[in-house]
Chains A and B, each alone.
Chain A
Amino acid sequence: MATFNLKINGKAHTVDVDDDTPLLWVLRDHLGMVGTKFSCGIAQCGACTVHVNGTPTFSCVTPVSSVGNSDVTTIEGLSKDGDHPVQKAWAEVDVAQCGYCQAGQIMTAAAFLESNPNPSMEEIDNAMNRNICRCGTYHKIREAVALAAKTK
């Protein structure tokens, strides 16, 4: 066990966990932030996506010891009241079916649009291909990313 001082959504948090504990489980089990989802645990599906210094990151394979004093942003901290352009676009397009993967999809989309504010549809496809949606909401996901790009 070791003590880690983390910067999550602009706030300081201290946790006492094994150094191989993935950031995902630190968030969910130790900090009660359960918006970041567990699904595959091996960086294949993107449900656990958070931003580390703005980069979309699979938190399920990110040991807490590797985070250091990086800025971590989770779905809970993406905006104050669910009003990030990507979140608004998701609501407007009514993307979700079961909804479980959507926090990860939104985090991937938000980071992507930061780095590429005016993407082509092909660029949207390439960026969003890293996240799996078992319900098959893919058409709505690309529509929402395109809408967010237009409205932000």
Chain B
Amino acid sequence: MKTITRASRRDFLKIAGTTAGGLFIGFNWFGCDSPKVEVLSTEEILAQAKSFNAYLSISPTGDVVIYSPNPELGQNIKTSFPMVVAEELDADWEKVRVVQANLDTEKYDRQLTGGSGAMPHSWERLRKAGATAKHVLVAAAAQTWNVSASEITVEKGIISHKGSGKSGHFGEFVELAATMQAPEEVALKDKNDFKIIGTPVKNVDAKEMYTGVPLYGLDFYREGMMHAMVQRAPFGMKIKSLDDAGARAVSGITDVITFGTSVAVVGNSTWPLMKAKKLLRVEYEPDGNVESTADHDRIFKELIANGKAEVRRKDGNVDAAFKSAAKIVTAEYQCPFLAHSPMEPENFFAHVQADRCELIGPTQTPDRARQAAADILGIPKENISVEITRLGGGFGRRLRADYVEEAVHISKAINAPVKVTWNREDELTGGAYRPAVRYKFEAALNESGEMVGYKLRGVGMNAGNSTRENNFPSGAVDNVLIESVNYESSITTNAWRAPITNFLAYAEQSFLDEVALEAGKDPVAFRLELLKRAKTNPVGELGYDVDRMISVVETARDKSNWGKDPNVKQGFSVYFSHRSYVAQVANIEMVSGTPTLKKITAVTDCGIVVNPTGANHQVRGGIVDGMGHAMYTNLTFENGMPKQRNFDSYRLVRLKEVPEIETHFVDSGFDPTGLGEPALPPTGGAIANAIFAATGRRLRSQPFIEQKEFSDIKLEIRRA
């Protein structure tokens, strides 16, 4: 793969000669129609525009088209990526159009959405793309005016030379600029000179989203396209027999197809498919482990006690530390399976032809989708195109290509273009879940209440390593043993927003609260004491920046008035994940005798905040996500099938169930370090610790509302 770290002469010429094409979804901009310029469509602009690099084209009218390569699923990348390019270009944001790029592994690398990694990965590339284009535009203006480039300034798309009084917009220089030598290295702006980065630029797809313009994969229609829905086997089962007579008899159904353990109904529109699918009579038989939640609970207990563990970290001598301990604290924590449940159910369009395939739809990993199609069809990847639509949520679900594969199988079988649509029941029963995990923690305290020994043993399902062994409190404790046991389940699992840490953080931060209280220490002071130790005299390898963690802990303590008001019961939590640091404090107050969760204060260090609106969205959204699932959501299995099959039993958090959320961002000056996930992990722990502070009940399993410790607690949630 080629990286766009700098534009070489050869690449520059190659790109400059092409006119970019593709499907344009969403470029409009609320209220940007300037009366003095003719408003052209993006297609019209691109027809005459010069491409300066993979990320941007500029037309003779001065309109700038910026490509956003990574899939947009609500993390706001389609707005924040172009902001970074436009910043270094010194473009007029009002004249910027944003276009979702198709999959193009020649032009772009890491064209995916996952791991909160897009901005950290692309930050410098995007800046260089903008700066390089600006450099050649300035050089073209200098040559035109016969002045020195160093005397030229650029502001909002206008190039000016003060000495001669000359000025012109970008468009006047694109022809000449496209022939200029691109620099090998280009100077980037001082962060203090940013004009677009750090401002609350609004969502570039706003108008489409709020007026019902087709934008998402499920909105894609094409003349002659067929529709399909799929019945999948329970986990660990295969098809024994199929009676599809009833399904075929439904008006509008054209075909019933079997592939693997799946049965697809095909027809002219969606509703007949929903009816026909219910009429399929499929008998299944075991083809491996057919699991239920009761099996998982039993397996967890067995493997926590004596499963074969991989040692992930070992510092000092834990046996000696626990033998000589003044006090030992032990606790086990467990979470259930969860589905991703994006509001837009899985769907994909595929059109398989002789040696070609066209794919259109919502995917976090377009290259994986393409590879999956290539593997099924046995054709080269180059013969497969992928258009990325806006995603109606993802949360990790659309990292998988299973639903893309279904569309490819069906299109191939019926020899026609097809869109596969999942319904909510498919989404909840169709697999790839956040797996259940169980953790056992043990802490050894000495006479002065210092944690001298720490043991963590995780049992995950299809999780590989279910720990984060170099994360806090590792580095702050002399004797540490961290082990991971893995169980291979027949239920398909997948990354779910903040994989592993979405529950590990809750368990660890709750346990540290237990230890602090056993040690007779304030939970914040206890963490700071450990962090001070990690800073002054670290033990082994540290996977986190101690100073950045201390900074968010202290800021959260201060912003939340930690421990100052005896009427406010507080819970603290801090976690490092996806390169960023987030500390949270949950406030519970007694209102007419009822514990009431009123507020969560969050302090985040994600480096430079590119877009404060987007950053607030990610932090609040992560907290609502972490809180909702910790409180309410459960997915249980019986004979390889989930029991909760729609939102009537699979409970998601609603508007009335969220407290006030106050967000703060630490100005650490680091380059952006990821924000789609890091705010979620600390939330459950902050709330559980506040519940303990208010009620004396320690919640060690999720969802809270189903725990016996919680059964007589009526927790209200109310904004201040």
Contact = CB atoms under 8 A, between A and B. Distances in A.
Interface of A: 1, 17-18, 20-22, 25, 28-30, 32-42, 44-45, 47, 74-76, 78-79, 81-82, 87, 90-91, 94, 96-103, 106, 121, 125-126, 128-129, 131-142
A98 B212 contact: no
A103 to B, nearest CB: 5
Interface string B639-658: 00000001110001111101
A18 B271 CA distance: 9
Nearest to A139: B620
A83 to B, nearest CB: 10
B251 A35 contact: no
B28 to A, nearest CB: 9
Contacts of A20: 271, 275
B117 interface: no
B208 to A, nearest CB: 8
A81 B212 CA distance: 11
Interface stretch (B180-188, B450-458, B621-629): B621-629
Given A101-B343, A129-B654, A136 B620 contact: yes
Given A34-B219, A39-B343, A139-B661, A132 B210 contact: no
A132 B652 contact: yes
A32 B269 CA distance: 12
Nearest to A96: B209
Contacts of B613: 94
A1 B272 CA distance: 11
A134 B342 CA distance: 6
Given A18-B252, A139-B620, 15 more contacts: A33-B212, A37-B216, A41-B423, A78-B211, A91-B207, A94-B200, A94-B613, A96-B210, A97-B74, A100-B393, A131-B655, A132-B647, A132-B652, A135-B74, A136-B625
Q: Which secondary structure dominates where chain A touches chain B?
A: loop
A21 B654 CA distance: 29
B303 to A, nearest CB: 32
Interface in B262-310: 269-272, 274-275
Contacts of A28: 270
Contacts of B421: 38
Interface string B47-91: 000000000000000000000000001111000000000000000
A128 B652 contact: no
B213 A35 contact: yes
Contacts, number: 180
Nearest to B274: A41
A74 B211 CA distance: 9
Nearest to B622: A136
A1 B211 CA distance: 31
10 tightest A-B CB contacts, nearest first: A35-B212, A136-B624, A100-B392, A98-B74, A97-B74, A75-B212, A99-B209, A44-B647, A34-B219, A29-B269
17 contacts: A25-B271, A34-B218, A37-B392, A38-B423, A41-B274, A42-B424, A75-B212, A91-B202, A91-B206, A94-B203, A99-B205, A132-B654, A134-B341, A134-B652, A136-B622, A136-B624, A142-B655
A144 to B, nearest CB: 10
A135 B614 CA distance: 12
A37 B334 CA distance: 35
A60 B211 CA distance: 19
A35 B206 CA distance: 13
B646 A40 contact: yes
A36 B344 CA distance: 12
A18 B251 contact: yes
Contacts of B227: 29
A43 B505 CA distance: 34
Contacts of B205: 96, 99
A137 B218 contact: no
B212 A36 contact: yes
Nearest to A28: B270
Contact of B624 (A36, A41, A79, A138): A138
A133 B395 CA distance: 13
Contacts of A103: 209-210, 212
Contacts of B394: 98
Interface string B362-376: 000000000000000
B421 to A, nearest CB: 8
A42 B624 contact: no
Contacts of A87: 210-211
Given A45-B647, A132-B652, A136-B624, A29 B270 contact: yes
A99 B647 contact: no
B343 A97 contact: no
Contacts of A128: 655
Contacts of B274: 41
A128 to B, nearest CB: 5
B271 A21 contact: yes
